[in-house]
Every structure is written in structure tokens, then in C-alpha cells.
Structure 1
């Protein structure tokens, strides 16, 4: 039975229940005078009881009986005359039932037509996973995506004449010196600045070829980014491979994690993309543009991934670029004092707010560098107590203790 049929039957059942309540209420409704009559009779009986107990005198009892009897006669006359309305006429009740049925059933159908997917067959989880894997395996290559994106041809931004001349000279120089690593690095950078992303990633491919095994994670991440930008955000198999290479060299490389999560969303696996983005966000330094991009989209991705208790990940604490520039101008003694201040801030935050195993490990390692061995041991013991039973966290703490030279 399709979801549409279930929806309509549920709406119809609700309409029938509401209509039955309306019709039943009309049949069982009695005149207000009948209720008044029962009340007056009970009051009359209570007068006799009060007189028998001596609560009121005979004269007062006669006066109250007379008043209640008058009200009883008036209520009975009202019932006999049929002057009390027994509710709305039958046609009004039937019309109300029809309106309710039309609103509930018609509204449910109209809403499903607009927001649902009428005619779409059931898609169990196993089938959706199979479809996502097929989509990932059969998605267009980089060349196919570029060919589709260039119809009509993309217009490059207008460059300043002097800059355009310098860029042309750089192209000619690199073409004449195909093994010049620095030349290809500059060419990739300036082609990207000019918005010519296909030429930029081709130059970056040559950078990686010339660098060999020494190519860092950033080189592969830049290659993937320029591939992705050249096709308007689509992550091709070639771009995915470049991202994998970047993460192989640096598992916590933020931009590579961002684009890999984006690729998982594109192939129908928002659940994996969400986990990748959460891990990336935990390590995101302050002000990282890819970290801010993840924050702006994380709530929507969590909804698509079926996560309704998404963690609130605060921005990572750490020095900004201004802090780093200021530290470079300090004397060794001033720099040491600044480091101690940052370590103390981290220690205070962990003591009051707690933190991840990585935060505790960072504090232990920093104390080891500062030569505060006993304090590092105390922090380690506290961390072992906090994460007791968490094998993975304890391994991180032990590794930090070994780095600090306080392993026992």
C-alpha cells in the first residue's frame, strides 16, 4: 500500500471521527430547561432535609419551597412548549461535517502533492545505499563535467591589461621550461586568480608531478579545489582522488575534509558527509573559511542525515594570525611568558568547562615543553580519571604523556 493511500485513509478516518462527534452531540443534546428542572428538584429535596435537621425554620422552608416550585413550573412549561432550541438544525450539522471532510482529506492530499513525491516507489535503506554507491561509481568524470559546464562557454573575468600581459609572459615562460617547479606553482596560483580554473588545475597537476612523493597535502587539496571550482562545485572522481591523497598525507586537513563531505552529499550519502564535517569542525582553527562554511550548512545537513541531536561545536580556541604575528616580534622571554599564559588559559578552561581528549593531550604536551613535569603528571592523572573506561581517549592521553616525557 502506497504512502499516498495511507495518508488519505488516515485523513478520512479523522474526518469520520469528527463528524460522528458532531452528529452524536446533536442527538444527545437536551434543552437547558431540562437540566434546570433536575437542579430545582434536588434543591427542593434539600430543603426538606435541612428542615428535618433544624437548620432552617418552618416559615423559611415554606418560602423557599414556594420559590423553587415556581421555577419548576416555569421550566416544565418551557419544555412542554418546546421554546428551548435543541441545537443547530440537521442541515447545518451535515454541512459542517462535509466541510471538515473536505478540509482534512483535500488538505492532506493537496499538501502531499506539493511537498511529497506522489508515485515514487518505496525506497528502503538498503536500496538507497545501493543507489548512492551506483551514483558515486557512475558519476561524470572531470572532462565530462567540464564539457557540460562549458556549454555555453564560460566567460572569464576581465583582467587589468598589465596583469594580463604578465600572465601571458608567465605562460610562455612555463611552456618553454616544463620542468620549472616554481614556475608551475606561480602559474597555478595566477591562473586561479584570473578565474581560469581548468588551466590552474592543469598547472597544479604538473606541480605534483615535479614534486613526486614530496608533494604535501596542500598541493593535492589545491588541485582538488581548482577542479571543483572549474565545474561549479561538482566533485568528480579525479577531484575525489586528489582529496584522498591530501587526507592520506594529513588526515585532519580541513579544506580536503570540507570538499570530501560535500562530495558525499552529492552522491546521496549525507550521513557520511555529516560525520566528516563534524570531525573537520572539531579541529577547525579560529577564522578558518572552510570552518565557517561548514557551520553555515551543518544544521541543514544534519536534518538530511537524520540527526536530530546535533552537537553544538563551539569555535576552536587557538591563536589568531594577529597573535602569531605579534609573537614573532617578541623576545624569547616575552614569548615564553605568552606561551605560559595560553597554557594557563587552556588549563582553566578544562578545569571549569571540560574538553575533548585532544585538548587534555595538548595541555600535557605543552606543560612538558615548558618543563613543568609535575604539573603535567597531575594533569595526566586528572585526565585519566575523566576519561576512565574510554580506551581511545586514554590512548591519546598516553601518547601526549610520552611526548611530554612523563610516561610511567
Structure 2
């Protein structure tokens, strides 16, 4: 209510200033009729001078004098009616002032009613954070979301494979402690597109593994739940992501989905900071990079941050997956020579100019492909020195070293 009162007073004040200008007219200036009278009198004097010089005949001068006299009478009458307002009717000014006040007040309020948020209370930062926390804590669970979706029968293959899948389902149902059976069933159902049945089997896998559960086990469960919920990160999926990140805090896929959960919970600020780090730490061809690129600028705007995506052609230099595939049609010697040349260029640039953690990881992985283990170990040792004070960056390089097989 306070907003409406303040807004109305502001609009009325503006309308009042404009109304004063309209009603005041031009009293501080010469009325237009007075100016016309002075011009017409000067014209009469000019006619008299022209007659005296013989330039204008007397009969023509009489006709001109009559016309100018008629105009003088009309201008004088206008001056008498208009007074100091210059001929502007006061009633017209009053009407215009009222119309303008109505248009300004009605237009402003109507526009806000249509585009604004009438009745919305003030939203300080602490209130918004509290609302986001409440939204997060009270959001629906996995079962509730699934109940809102249309029921679909699980897919079953045809032919002999159908018998095998049916047998596998019966076997797991009759042997709830069979870990391998649950693992095989989870993978089979996932490959068939039965994500709900797959995550139910994956829950059994996690239960049976106990302390031996891996981050990938939790992540698979979370992804299947999110897929069933059509992109919604339920509290159950969040718990699985949290468990995965407890075992591997820098896991990129878990961090991507955690950002999705933050967005859905009304915390674009936290989601942006998380995705921004993930964006700069990831290789351009990483599968989570495309959805991040599509949304991170809008996310930055909602978070009140300034962020602009680099050009796509500014991708990390060096041997990429596409480069390796392009070498497939070459002879073994040519292919090896091409790869060595690209690796050498990348190695030289990192040694002289430095580079991103993703580039260091790529270089170590490339030496692993070339089976130059000693060189890969040397680069890994150098990277440990370079990123000694940046554990997040070092974790990215460590992934490349693991892929190269030089560390366990």
C-alpha cells in the first residue's frame, strides 16, 4: 500500500507541474496579437511612404489600407479576449491539465499493474535467502513428482532378448542380496530406457556395496532420478549427488547437477559461481559445456554478475579429440608424426607462456596416448609445482594424469 501511495504522489506532483505551466500560459512573454498589431502598423507606415514616392497608386493604396485595417481590428479583438495569456483560453488549459493528470496517473498505474508485481512485498537479500531456503526445504520429493507424470509401462525387448530380461528381473526379485544381479539389471533397464526401474535397481547396488560404493554409483542413481523427473532435482537426487561429492568433491557431472538444483531452489548466485568455475576448468568438448554455455549468461544476469562468454573459436589449443579422429585416415607413421607435432607445440607453449589446467591435463593425456610415460610423469611433476597453491586446478590436471595411467 505504501508503494501505491508514494507512486501516486510522484505522478500527481509531475502532473501538477505540467498543469501550472499550462494554466500560466505565456504571461511573461508578449502576446501574439500585440506582435501582429505592431507589424500591421509598420505596414501602414510603409504604404504611406510608397505613395509619397509614387511607387504605389492612390487607389491601390486604399485597398491595401482597408485590408490592413481589417487585420488590425481582428488582432486587437484577439488581444482583448486573450489578455495576458496570449489568446490561450483558460478553460482549455484547465481541461488539458485534468486530462494530462488522468493519463499520467492511469497510464503509470496500468502499466505497473500489467508488467510489475502489485502487492509484492520488499525483498531484502536476507529475506530472499530465507525464501530460497524454504523453497529448497519444502520442494516435492521424487515420488510426488513421479505421481504427477503420466504412467508408462516399462520397455521390454522382443524375441529371445525379452526372455532374458524377464528372467533377469525375476532373478533379482528373488535374490535381493545379489550384487552382480542388481548391477546387471540396472544397466539393462537403463539401456532399455526404463530409468525408473534402473534407479530402483541402482539403489540396491548402493545398498549392497556398503563401504565400497563409488562416486559413479551415486552419480548414476542421481542422473536416473533426474531423468525420470524430467530435469527436476529432487531431494533424493540431491542426497545422491551430495554423497558422490563427499567421495569426489570436484566431480564435474555432480557439480553440474548441483548447479541445476541451486537454480531450481532460487539461488542463481550460488549456481553461477559454481558453473563459472566448472566452465573454466572443463575441456570445450565436455558434455556439460553445451548446456552451461546456453544458460550461464542469463544466470549471471539473475545473479547480478557481469559475465560474457568467450568466442567459441577461442577453444583450448592443442591436440583434441577431433584432431585424433582426423588422423584416422593417415598411415601409422604419418599419424604418429602429426600427433607428435601438435603435442610438441602445446608442450613448448605451456613451458614458455603457461596455460589452463585443462591444457596441462590434455598434454599429459597426449603423452599417455603416445606411450611416452616418462614425459607424461615429468609434465605431471611440473604441474604439481605450478599449481601447488591451486588445489582445484591441480585436481583437473590429476584427472589427465589418471587417464594417462601414470597415477592410480
Instruction: Identify if the C-alpha distance between structure 1 residues 281 and 114 changes in structure 2 by more than 3 Å, giving closer, same or farther.
Output: same
Equivalence for 1:56: none
- Give the C-alpha shift of residue 366 in structure 1: 8.3
* Residue ranges of structure 1 left out of the alignment (5+ in a row): 42-61, 64-69, 385-389, 404-408
Indicate yes or no: 2:115 matched with 1:115: yes
Deviations 1:144-193 (A, max 9, x none): xx145325752247655346554323322433555555543342233234
| Separation in 1, partners of 2:332, 2:323 | 14
| Separation in 1, partners of 2:288, 2:87 | 67
| TM-score, scaled relative to structure 2 | 0.67
Q: Counterpart of 1:150 in 2: which secondary structure?
A: helix
Deviations 1:265-299 (A, max 9, x none): 22221111111122222234334443222222223
| Separation in 2, partners of 1:135, 1:207 | 31
Instruction: Identify if the C-alpha distance between structure 1 residues 360 and 82 changes in structure 2 by more than 3 Å, giving closer, same or farther.
Output: same
Deviations 1:218-257 (A, max 9, x none): 3322211111222333322221121123333444433322
Alpha-carbon contact 1:346-1:363 (below 8 Å) kept: no
Q: Counterpart of 1:122 in 2: which secondary structure?
A: coil
Alpha-carbon contact 2:32-2:87 (below 8 Å) kept: no
Equivalence for 1:127: 127
Equivalence for 1:311: 308
Deviations 1:321-373 (A, max 9, x none): 4444566897488446415415526866999xx98653675588689998899
Q: Counterpart of 1:127 in 2: which secondary structure?
A: helix
Q: Counterpart of 1:161 in 2: which secondary structure?
A: coil
| Separation in 1, partners of 2:285, 2:10 | 50
Alpha-carbon contact 2:283-2:358 (below 8 Å) kept: no
Q: Counterpart of 1:228 in 2: which secondary structure?
A: helix
Equivalence for 1:296: 294
Deviations 1:76-131 (A, max 9, x none): 87753437983653344333333332332222222322333322332321122223
**Aligned positions, number:** 362
Equivalence for 1:20: 20
Alpha-carbon contact 2:252-2:278 (below 8 Å) kept: yes
Instruction: Identify if the C-alpha distance between structure 1 residues 372 and 26 changes in structure 2 by more than 3 Å, giving closer, same or farther.
Output: farther
Equivalence for 2:345: 344
Equivalence for 1:103: 103
Alpha-carbon contact 2:40-2:71 (below 8 Å) kept: no
Once the two structures are superposed, the pairs formed by residues 243-282 of structure 1 within 5 Å of their partners are: 243-282=241-280
> Which has the larger displacement, 323-332 or 274-283?
323-332
* Residue ranges of structure 2 left out of the alignment (5+ in a row): 42-51, 54-64, 402-408
Instruction: Identify if the C-alpha distance between structure 1 residues 189 and 130 changes in structure 2 by more than 3 Å, giving closer, same or farther.
Output: same
Alpha-carbon contact 1:361-1:396 (below 8 Å) kept: no
| Separation in 1, partners of 2:363, 2:322 | 25
Indicate yes or no: 2:242 matched with 1:237: no
Instruction: Identify if the C-alpha distance between structure 1 residues 361 and 345 changes in structure 2 by more than 3 Å, giving closer, same or farther.
Output: closer
| TM-score, scaled relative to structure 1 | 0.67
